[in-house]
Every structure is written in C-alpha cells, then in structure tokens.
Chain A
Amino acid sequence: MTLELKGITKRFGTFTANDRINLKIEAGEIHCLLGENGAGKSTMMNVLYGLYQAEEGEILIDGKPQRFQGPGDAMRAGIGMVHQHFMLIPVFTVAENVLLGHERELGGLKGARKAVVELSKRFGFDIDPDALVQDLPVGVQQRVEIIKALSLDARVLVFDEPTAVLTPQETDELMNVMRQLRDDGTAIVFITHKLREVREVADRITVIRLGKIVGSAEPTASSNELASLMVGRDVSLTVDKDDAKFTDKKLEVTVLTVLDRIGQKVVNDVSFEVRGGEVLCIAGVQGNGQTELTEAIIGLEKPASGSISLSGRRLTGKSVREVLDSGVGFVPEDRKVDGLVSEFSVSENIMLDRYKGAPFVKAGTIDFATRNEFAEQAKTDYDVRAQSIHSPAGSLSGGNQQKVVLARELGRKLELFVASQPTRGLDVGSIEFVHKQIIATRDTGIPVVVVSTELDEVIGLADRIAVMYRGGIVGIVPADTDREDLGLMMAGEMPEHLKAAAEEAAA
C-alpha cells in the first residue's frame, strides 16, 4: 500500500505549521523525517493520524482520498502511531490496554490476549499479556504501544521521537523491531533527532524545515551533511572549548545520601567536588540516582545525611528559594513538568523563578515593561522561535521550550549551574547552541554540573566525568576516557586500568 500526503497545509491561527506538504510513504520502507525543532513534523503526523484537520490538501491511500475525522478513522484505515508520551493506562494489564477502544474489533479480552501472544511471538517480544503496564520498563511499554497498533492491522506505523526516553540497548532493539516490521511489509515513519539512528535504519530520508519539505537525503549521507540540510547552515557536531581555567569557587558534595519514599538509598554516599570553571558531567543510565542528586542540590530533596556546600556556604537544609537566591541556576530534567508552565506566556515563564524583587517586581507589582523587554531580548539572544513573547509556552516546540528555560536560568548572575538532560529532544542546531551556552557559563568561572544519559554529550562537554550506578558514583574519570570503558562503568564495573587515572581526576 502507498500512503500519500498531497498539498497538506495546516495553520495555527496565522502561523503555517505545514505548508503544502507532499509526501509519499511506501510499504516496506523506513521513512525518516528530519527537521529542526518546530519544523512541523509532529503537526504533520497529527494530521495524518486525524488529530488535526488540515486546512488544505488531502491524504490518499492507494490513490483513494481519505477523510479522517479523528484517530479512529485513521486507525481503521490502517494507520498506527506510537506516541512519545505513552497513552497507556498504568493500572491496566497489557491485554486490557491493547483492547481499550477496540473492544469489538478484537473480540473481547480473550481476543486481545491472543493478539498480544501472537504478535509477541512474531516479533520475539517477551511480553506477558497479564502484566500490569505500570510494572513494565519504558522500553517494554513502548512495545505494548507497538502491539496495540499492530493488533488493528496497522500497515503504516508512525514513531514520533520514540528513542528520546530509551537506553542505547533499548534503542538498538527498537531499531531491530522496525527493520523486522519493514521486512513484513509495514510502512514506517520514523521521527528522530539522532542522526546516528537515521543513518542506521532509514531507507529514505525527507528533510523538513519551517513547515516545508526542503529535500531528501540518502541514508549514506554523513551526519554533517544531514545536519546542515536540516538546519540550513553548517553545524558543528562537536563541542569547541578551551582548557578549563579554574577559579576559587567550588561545589562540594560530601557523603551525600538521599532516601526515597520507602527508605531505599537512591543516592548512596556520593562525594565529589566541582571547581569553578569546569564542567563535571554525570553520566549513567537513566534512573540511577541522578535526578535525586540534582534535586538534593537544589533543595527539593532533603538528604538523609551528608552535606552540599557552595564556595564554603552550606546549601543543605536550605529551601529551594534560598538555594536559587544564592545564585544557583537549574535546568530540570523534565522541562514540560518542572521547568515551564505551559499555559503561561513565554514572558511569564521567563520570570517563573524570579517573582520577587528586582528586576521584575517592584513594590509587589510586576513591572511588565521591564519583564517584556527582558523577554524580547532573551527571545532574540536565544533565537526562540515563538510567534511572540506572549504566546503560551505550551505551543512552542520542544527545542524552543528548552531555550526559554535556559534563557531564564542563565539570565542572571550565577554561582553554580546545574543542568539535567539539557538537550533531550533537541535538534542538532539547538544542541550546538545549548552546548555553547553551557561552555560560556563555565568560562565565567563558576562550577557547572551537567547530567546526561547521552554519551556523546558527556564526552563533548565534560572536563571530568562522574559515572553513577545504583545511586553511587562508580568513578570520576578524565574527559578523554574511552567510550567502552565508560560503558562498563555505566553497568557498575570499574575497569582496573582506569583506577589510577580516576584517583587523579577525583582529587
């Protein structure tokens, strides 16, 4: 089967998110969509999936025009979608989730269970149809989404940034599944910002910029070529930086232990030191205590023991407000939930953690002129693509939301900067920009801590790397440490030959 988008135009108010898009998706192909943040990829897929109605253009399946009023119509026409944020019900079992919404088609719970078993067998998934979804790891939940789509005989499967939340192994496994689906004759649309993945699985690459299709590329193209095609200019995929120039400022974390709700140690006797003028990257697989560590620094988590101090002043025991006021800039891991209020405008978000005193508040009243001026400036400096500073932050694409957070956190004088997953979901151009900002912040002479699960990012930014595993630090090693070795450390093993270097780096 062939799916065709013909002249699709989708507008939000006066803003054109998709401009006369022509796209052909063929069975047995993995079709990658590449494009900057805000280029209109998700919008296009939401039109295809019936979530949005296009103003112009049509969708053809095997030459026949389709009218999708909602996802139900799209599903019936054989289009499935695996969302980035899973749409599963945590307290339901796998089979119940697959059944949900398609009770008749699948023939009740029995049918759903059968479909899960059969499809699992076909793709070599090891999924128990009666397991509760909330007990499953993220990668497996994603497979449940895939099974849900396939159980309705989806012949086109759309994956919108499926790998953003996966570990490298899970990503590899997902790509295998995509290949297998393709070989079975499913058409696959794959959206990702990671060029390595694109080059690995794509059969065809379409590049979209500012809502328009600007061309296609061969899977054999180099990362640099793909990047510049996407962004429209040359992008440096590596981080340029000089050697660290240390200052007297210093973040000290001493035998810090944080317990979770049920009293387990999620951060376990962690000690390290970050000097002014250097970047310490904290590497590790998601969920090994990094989140809790950063939350302890910012004052959201009360540590069970240990201390944190910044240039001699204690941070432990202070409220978030006091920590922020002592000059700590913080980029939270989940910007949508913790970093922004999506209903608020860009300029309101710019003052989110500066709601007291100068420069934005005078005599208890918000000084709109000053704030908006600052927001305009930030919008220009950080190249935030928003219709205006009054647009709600929720309408911005992921990359632009992150720029708003950065603009806020870096927009004042800092003594320490902590960023968690600062480039998750960002396009290569924005990543380049964010990395430059982080290095520039380091060069002002303050300590910088970056938590990242992306090895490339860690290696590019770090002056030193600390690897976390199960709440503890496996080791602190120099930035030029071998990837293989870092991989081992992320699994909790400290290679013998690194021990000397680690001792030196930790000192």
Chain B
Amino acid sequence: MSEQLAKQAAPPPPEGEEQVDRSREFMQRLMTGTPMLSVLAVVASLVLGALLIAFTDERVAKTAGYFFARPTDMLQALWDSVAGAYTAMFQGSILNINRIDTLQQALTPVSNTFYYAAPLIIAGLGVAIAFKVGLFNIGGQGQMLVGAAVAGWIGFSVEMPPIIHVTVALIAGIGAAAIWGGIVGLLKARTGAHEVILTIMLNYVAYWALVYALRSPDLLRNPDNNNPITPGMLETAILNPLPGFKVHAGFLIALAVVVLYWWFIERSSLGFQFRTVGLNPAAAKMAGMNVGLITTLAMLFAGAFMGLAGGIQVTGQVTTGFTSHIDAGIGFDAITVALLGRSSPWGTLIAGILFGALKAGGYNMAAAEGVPIDLVLVLQSFIVLFIAAPALVKTIFFLPKGGRK
C-alpha cells in the first residue's frame, strides 16, 4: 500500500524551476498593476522628491536654526525651495507663462520634452516587448551602443543621398542591435542561460568593444582629434531639427514605433504567441507554439528597438560625434519607462514622455534653481521602488489592498 502510494507522489520539481516561477510571477505582478497605481507611484515620488529638495536646500537649513524663534521663515524657505524647483521643472518641460511672446517660445518647453522623450519611448518598448514574453532585458545599454556604433559609423563614413543615408544608418543600427539581442534569446532558448546575466555581461562586452574602437582611428575615432570621440555625422545622416527647436523627426519615428508595437502585441498572430509564452509557457507549448523560437525572436525584437534608440542618439540627439557614453543611461531608464507604462503601448508612450519631461525640466531646474539634475534620477528610482511595491503605494493612499486569490 505505502509503496503504491509512494509511487504516486508528484515527482519533485526539477531544480531551478521553482525559482523561475517565482521571478515570472513577480514580473507578472509588475506588469499587471493598474494605470492608477502608476500615477500614484509618480505622485508619491514627487512628494518624496519635494522632501529631498527641501532638506538639501541651504536656506531651509539656515532658517531651521532659528525655527522656534521664527518658524514662518523656515516654512517660507521650505515652500520657496520646493515650489521653485518644481515650477522650474514645469517651465522647462511644459509651459513657461513668462515666455509666450512668440509661438516658438511657447512651444519650446514641450518640444524639448518630445526631444528627450523620443529615444526613451523607443528604448522603453525594447524592454516592454521582452517583458511581454517574460524576459527581463537589462541589456539596453549594450544593444544601444551596438546600434549607435553601427548607425554612427555609416553616418560619418559612407556618403549617400539625404534621407536615404539616415534611413540606411538607422536600419543598419537596428539590424546590428537585433543580432546583439538575439544572441541572448538564442542562448536562453538553447542552453537555458538566464537572460539577465547574459544581457548584463553583453553590456560590458559592447561597452569595452566600443571603447576600443574609439581609441583606434582606423575604426571609429576621429583622426583629427586625440580624444576617444568619432567624427561628426555627415549632413545627410542627420535628423534635422525643426527650425528654431531641438526636436526632430525622431519623435515621429517614436510615435510610429508605438503604433507598430500596439499592432504587434494586440493584433498580430506573432504577438499573440509572445503574450502566451509570457503568461503561460506550458500552455504555449501545448498549443503548439515554439517557445524557444519566440524567446529568441523576443530578444531579437527587443534589440531592434534598442538599436533604433541608439541610432536616434547619433543621428538626432548628438550629431557632432559620439563617445562611449552615447547611450546616456537610456538603456536603463528604459526599464523604468516600461515598468511605469506596464509594457503597454500607450502606457510606455506616456511614461516615455513623462521621463522626457523630467529630463527637459530637470535641466531647466538645475539652471534656474541650482537643484542638481541628479534629482531626476532620484525621482526615477523612487518610481521604480513604488511600482515594485504596490502594497506600499496602496497603504500610502489608503487604498483597499484587495483579497488575495
């Protein structure tokens, strides 16, 4: 009897499977929160950011010394510092009512937001599409660097007619980064290696390879310059800014890519397979889907988005030659963008614009109020924190936590 019973015992789960399930579950929780939660996370971060501004402000510190004698002084200083910083941020990113004499002046802040948002949105989709398949793409930096290097090289060294030149450069960047990302997917599908480790390692490989290439005049370095920087892009390989503004066609490309992503995820057959594999790989296998292929494709597409973001960096954002920091941290910001946008097309678009606004506003705030631009980084970090801990946000805002299923 007991022998017979023992035989029926469920076979112990193979090693590691438990772990994978746990991280998959966590990722799904990250992705399935409501938009409301995203908004609240941003609000909570702004509040914390306000505290940070206030308590690092010199005037606040000074007035705090005689708080009990004249408390209003400190409260006034508190208010000034926070309101000043956030107003400057708003003026730098949305609208500055003191400067609306001409249409160009009025539109400048928004156009700056869009300018910074373009690569963020595209890179955000590069993380989002991997999320949809249950993969964590930490390799945005490496993929962007590869994309930027290839697009940039075509941009400064090959001569082509206008428009075609930019297009070819961007497509080449996309292709190179897609391969860079696809390697990760292939390794994961074939050997089971974890994509987080692979992408992080490939970040280093891409970075140091680029550093090496930037040292050699035969490769990327500008022969006329001793610093590790490339020549400037040829005129034909530049996404020209709108006259009087910084913003260029990159933003339109970003919008188009969002629509493409929407169609792909929501409407296409392949996107359906992506989502199935992300939510339930066992059911996907049973339904005849090729989970390994989907994994590979997901990382390939993720790399493609990152490559486009990298291409935009060199053809639109920094056209005077680039260094090994051309990714500008966007590969990592993209993770936050995708998380905040819950990997949905419109969510990622909005999150990308918000982060663009933070950047545009951040520079203005630093210039006008002397609050370090690093505050923007802090805000972004708080946002990730709050999104990763929905229960915390719900507690802060007195929302019901809801029954566990």
**A residues whose Cβ falls under 8 Å from a Cβ of B:** 46, 51-53, 90, 126, 134-140, 167, 169-170, 260-261, 285-287, 298, 300, 319-321, 323-325, 330, 332, 337-344, 348, 351-353, 355-356, 361, 364-366, 470, 491
* B32 within 8 A of partner (CB): yes
Contacts known (A355-B273, A365-B269); A138 close to B10, Cβ less than 8 A: yes
Q: Which residues of A contact B280 (CB under 8 A)?
A: 337, 340-343
The contact of A366 among B2, B9, B14, B268, by CB within 8 Å, is B268
Residues of B with C-beta under 8 A to A53? 403
Q: Contact between A365 and B267 (Cβ–Cβ < 8 Å)?
A: yes
B-chain residues with CB within 8 Å of residue A342 when the two chains form the complex: 280
Partner-contacting stretch, out of B172-180, B243-251, B283-291 = B283-291
- Report the separation of the CA atoms of residues A466 and B268 in the bound assembly, to the nearest whole angstrom: 43
Complexed CA–CA distance, A326 and B282 (Å): 21
A337 to B286 alpha-carbon distance, docked (Å): 10
Is the CB–CB distance between A324 and B9 below 8 Å? no
B103 within 8 A of A: no
Contact between A365 and B268, CB atoms less than 8 A apart: yes
When the two chains form their complex, are residues B283 and A170 in contact, meaning their CB atoms are under 8 A apart? no
Contacts of A167 in B (CB 8 A): 8
With contacts A366-B267, A366-B269, A366-B272 known, is A352 near B5, CB below 8 A? no
| A352:B285 contact, CB within 8 angstroms | no
User: In chain A, what residue has the closest Cβ to B8?
Assistant: A287
Residues of B within 8 A of A139 (CB): 5, 8
Q: Is the CB of A330 within 8 A of B286?
A: yes
Interface presence of B279 (CB below 8 A): yes
As a 0/1 sequence over residues 13 to 30 of chain B, the CB contacts with chain A under 8 angstroms (1 = contact) are: 110001000000000100
- Report the nearest B residue to A353, measured CB to CB: B287
Pick from B2, B273, B279: contact of A344, CB under 8 Å: B279
Which of B1, B286, B289 has the most C-beta atoms of chain A within 10 angstroms of its own C-beta? B286
Q: Could you list some 22 contacts between A and B, CB below 8 A?
A: A46-B403, A126-B2, A134-B9, A134-B13, A169-B1, A285-B4, A319-B288, A320-B285, A321-B289, A337-B282, A338-B282, A340-B283, A341-B276, A342-B280, A343-B32, A344-B276, A344-B279, A352-B276, A355-B289, A365-B263, A366-B267, A366-B272
How many Å lie between the Cα of A139 and that of B4 in the bound state?
12
**Pairwise interchain contact B270-A364, C-beta atoms closer than 8 A:** yes
Contacts of B1 in A (CB 8 A): 169
Q: Known interface pairs A137-B6, A138-B10, A140-B5. Does A339 touch B283 (Cβ–Cβ under 8 Å)?
A: yes
Mark out the residues of chain B between 69 and 86 whose CB falls within 8 Å of any chain A CB in the assembled complex.
none
* Inter-chain pairs besides A135-B12, A139-B8, A140-B5, 13 sampled, C-beta below 8 Å: A51-B403, A134-B10, A137-B5, A138-B10, A300-B285, A320-B285, A355-B272, A355-B289, A364-B268, A365-B269, A366-B268, A366-B269, A366-B272
Name A90's contact: one of B7, B13, B28, B283 (CB within 8 Å).
Answer: B13
Interface size bracket, B side: 35 or more
Most buried by A among B13, B28, B273, B283: B283
Residues of B within 8 A of A341 (CB): 276, 279-280, 283
Cβ-defined contact, A90 with B12, below 8 A: yes
CA A344 to CA B14, docked complex, whole Å: 27
Among B304-327, those with CB < 8 Å from A are none
- A287 x B279 contact (CB < 8 A): no
Main secondary structure of the interface of B (DSSP, over half): helix
When distances are taken between beta carbons in the complex, the residues of chain A under 8 Å from B4 are 285, 491
Question: B residues within 8 A CB of A352?
Answer: 276, 283, 287
Q: Report B-chain residues with C-beta under 8 Å of the C-beta of A340.
A: 280, 283
The residue of chain B having its C-beta at the shortest distance from the C-beta of A170 within the complex is B5
CA A323 – CA B286 in complex, angstroms?
11
B5 to chain A, nearest CB (A): 4
Query: Taking CB as reference atom, which chain B residue is nearest A321?
Result: B288
The secondary structure that dominates the A interface is loop
Which residues from chain B contact A320 at a C-beta distance below 8 Å?
285-288
Expressed in whole angstroms, the Cα–Cα distance for A352 and B283 within the complex equals 8
Q: When A261-B14, A352-B276 are in contact, do A361 and B288 touch as well, CB less than 8 Å?
A: no
Name the one of B267, B272, B404 contacting A51, with C-beta atoms under 8 angstroms: B404
Complex: A418 Cα to B262 Cα, angstroms: 37
Shortest C-beta distance, A67 to chain B (Å), equals 15
Query: When chains A and B are docked, how far (Å) is the Cα of A344 from the Cα of B269?
Result: 15
Question: A355–B271 Cα gap in the complex (Å)?
Answer: 10
- Closest A residue to B266 by beta carbon equals A366
Query: Are the C-beta atoms of B267 and A138 separated by less than 8 Å?
Result: no
Q: Whole-angstrom distance between the alpha carbons of A260 and B12 in the complex? A: 13
Residues of B within 8 A of A351 (CB): 272
**Given the complex, which residues of B lie within 8 Å of A169, measured CB to CB?**
1
- What's the nearest-Cβ distance from chain A to residue B343, in Å? 13
Residues on B with C-beta less than 8 A from A90 are 12-13, 18
Q: How far is the CA of A136 from the CA of B5 in the complex (A)?
A: 9
Residue of B nearest to A340 (CB): B283
Q: Are A355 and B8 in contact (CB under 8 A)?
A: no
A17 to B140, CA, bound (A): 46
Give the docked Cα–Cα distance between A283 and B295 (Å).
38
Complex contact B403–A300 (CB within 8 A): no
The smallest beta-carbon distance between A322 and chain B, in angstroms, is 8
* Known contacts A137-B6, A169-B1, A332 near B286 by CB under 8 Å: yes
What residues on B are CB-neighbors of A325 within 8 Å?
288
CB within 8 Å of A: which B232-248 residues: none
State how many angstroms separate the Cβ of B172 from the closest Cβ of chain A. 25
Closest residue on chain A to residue B286 by CB atoms: A338
Q: What's the Cα separation between A300 and B273 when bound, in Å?
A: 18
CA distance in complex: A344, B132 (Å): 13
Determine the distance from Cα of A343 to Cα of B288 in the docked complex, in whole angstroms. 19
Measured in the bound complex, the distance between the Cα atoms of B285 and A348 in whole Å is: 16
Closest chain B CB from A143 CB (angstroms): 11
Please give me the residue from chain B that is nearest to A262 by CB atom: B11
A356 pairs with B269, CB closer than 8 A: yes
What is the minimal beta-carbon distance from B210 to any residue of chain A, in angstroms? Answer: 36
Chain A residue contacts of B287, Cβ below 8 A: 320, 324, 352-353, 355
Least Cβ–Cβ distance between A21 and chain B, in angstroms: 17
In the complex where A352-B287, A355-B269 touch, is A138 in contact with B403 (Cβ < 8 A)? no
Q: Are A338 and B283 in contact (CB under 8 A)?
A: yes
B6: A residues at CB distance < 8 A: 137
Chain A residues lying within 8 Å of B282, measured Cβ to Cβ, are 337-338
A241 to B287, CA, bound (A): 31
Residue of A nearest to B10 (CB): A138
CA distance A326 to B287 in the complex (A): 13
Q: Are A286 and B268 closer than 8 Å at their CB atoms?
A: no
A44 to B285, CA, bound (A): 35
> Chain B nearest CB: distance from A285 CB in Å?
7
Contact in complex: B269, A361 (CB < 8 Å): yes
Q: Residue on B with the closest CB to A286? A: B8
The smallest C-beta distance from A268 to any residue of chain B, in angstroms, reads: 14
The chain B residue with its CB closest to the CB of A337 is: B282
CA A344 – CA B5 in complex, angstroms?
36
Contacts of A353 in B (CB 8 A): 286-288
| Bound-complex Cα distance A51 to B401 (A) | 12
Chain A residues contacting B9 (CB-CB under 8 Å) are: 134-138
